[in-house]
Amino acid sequence: MSWYIDSSAILKLIFTEKETAELDKVMSNKMVTSTLTRVEVKRAVGRINAEKLVVANEVLEQIQFTELDSQTLQLAEAFTPDITLRTLDAIHVASVLRITDAVKGIITYDKQMVTNAKNMGIKVLSPGAKF
């Protein structure tokens, strides 16, 4: 079974950070993410260090993508006010919920997403992180 991986985790595979080694160990498993993530990652890499776009493409090639569809967007729109996610993070969580039978949970380093996902009953991994 796969894990859903968000852009905060993928960026740690492109730019070495303290959590990268632990995340690399988990990456031996199959990963899936939304097509939204490709846009987020490439734009972030372009802003931070465009020379790393080659590495970004190599990392993204290892990940399976799920299409962003209207049902996922409607689910993200319908989150109640107690779900305190920013728009793109809401779309990531909605994506996980839409494919919940195909994924174990979400890998993220976004603290707000960690809290909200756990409150929604989604298993969360943040390898190497100490929150």
Domain ranges of the chain: 2-123
Q: How confident is the model at residue 126 (pLDDT cuts 50, 70, 90)?
A: very high
Q: Tell me the pLDDT tens digit for each residue of 104-122.
A: 999 999 999 999 999 999 9
Contacts of 127 (CB under 8 A, 6+ apart): 19, 22, 23, 25, 26, 107
Which one-letter DSSP state was computed for residue 29?
S
pLDDT for 47 beyond 80: yes
Q: Identify the pLDDT of residue 26.
A: 84
Q: Identify the pLDDT of residue 30.
A: 86
Q: How confident is the model at residue 1 (pLDDT cuts 50, 70, 90)?
A: confident
Mean pLDDT along residues 77-84 = 95
2-123 has which fold? Rossmann fold (3.40.50)
- Are the beta carbons of 82 and 56 closer than 8 angstroms? no
Query: What distance in Å separates the CA atoms of residue 55 and residue 50, rounded to the nearest whole number?
Result: 10
Q: Identify the pLDDT of residue 130.
A: 86
Residue 102 backbone dihedrals phi, psi, to 5 degrees: -105, -10
Mean pLDDT along residues 50-58 = 97
Mean pLDDT along residues 54-59 = 96
Q: How confident is the model at residue 64 (pLDDT cuts 50, 70, 90)?
A: very high
- Are the beta carbons of 90 and 79 closer than 8 angstroms? yes
Q: How confident is the model at residue 27 (pLDDT cuts 50, 70, 90)?
A: confident
